[in-house]
Structure formats: C-alpha cells, structure tokens
Amino acid sequence: MFAEQVLTGTVLVGTGTVTGIFVAVAVSVAPAMAAMERADYLRAHALLGKGYHPLMPILVNVVTLSGFALAWLAGPPARWLFPLASALLIGVQAVSHLGNVPINRSLGALAADGPWQDPRPLWRAWHRLRTALALLALLTDTVAVLAAR
C-alpha cells in the first residue's frame, strides 16, 4: 500500500510538474524568444537550455516508469489508465528527442548574423504537441487516481 501511495504521488506531482513547465514555456518563454532578435535569441536559448537538461528527461522517465509500475498495483480502470498516461509521456519523450532536441542542437552551430531559416516556428509547433501530450497524461493520471479510490 505504501509503495502505491509513493508511486501515485510521484505520478501526480511529476506529471503536473512536467505539464506546468511546458505550459510556462508555451505561454511565456516561447513568445518572449519569438520577439527577440537573432543574436539575443541564440544567447537566451543557450542559457535556458542548460537548466532543462538533464532534469526534464529524467523527470519524464521516472514518471513514466512509475505509471507502468502502478498498472501492476492498481485495480481496474486505473490498471489501464496509468499505462495510458505513461504511453502519452513516451510520446512527450519522442517529440522532444525527434523534434525539439535536433533543433536545439542545430542552434549551437548558428552564427549571430548571416542567412538562416528561423527555427522558432517549427520548435514551437513541436513544443505545443508535447505540451498537449503532457496535459493529456496529467488528466489521465488524475482520472486514474480518482478511479482507484
């Protein structure tokens, strides 16, 4: 019972934290970065990125694994909802690694002047997708916790 409570807390707090960070980036950080000139944007991106790695991937992985573990401990329908939320978090990781991270890595090679294709619109589109997946995971985990009571 104690393990289930710890895992439940981990899932709710972790998924809420991931979602909250993504929402904050979507409504505040990304618009601010979109308004910056190229040199300022590249500098700000380099500084901001240092704070997210490795925290975010580790947090998402811990929450994902905790959700799968809860599938073994919870009864129906939570038994199916927790893994569904974990699958959504795998989607978050996939979008991050296949969409946002390659863009992030490419920015280090860009100069502050000269020709470029602005990566911000594509980065924001990928970010919106992973934010939506995280929000769906949080809602699914919340329903699972309520259903398990």
State the total domains in the chain.
Answer: 1
Q: What is the pLDDT of residues 123-137, one digit of tens each?
A: 999 999 999 999 999
Over residues 10-38, the pLDDT tens digits come to 999 999 999 999 999 999 999 999 999 99
For residue 4, what is the enclosing H or E element? helix 2-24
Report the predicted TM-score, pTM, of the whole model to 2 decimal places. Answer: 0.95
Q: Are 68 and 106 in contact (CB under 8 A)?
A: no
Domain carrying residue 6: 2-148
Per-residue confidence (pLDDT) for residue 51, from 0 to 100: 79
Taking the chain, what is the end-to-end CA distance rounded to the nearest angstrom?
12
58/140 Cα distance (integer angstroms): 20
- The rounded mean pLDDT for the chain is 95
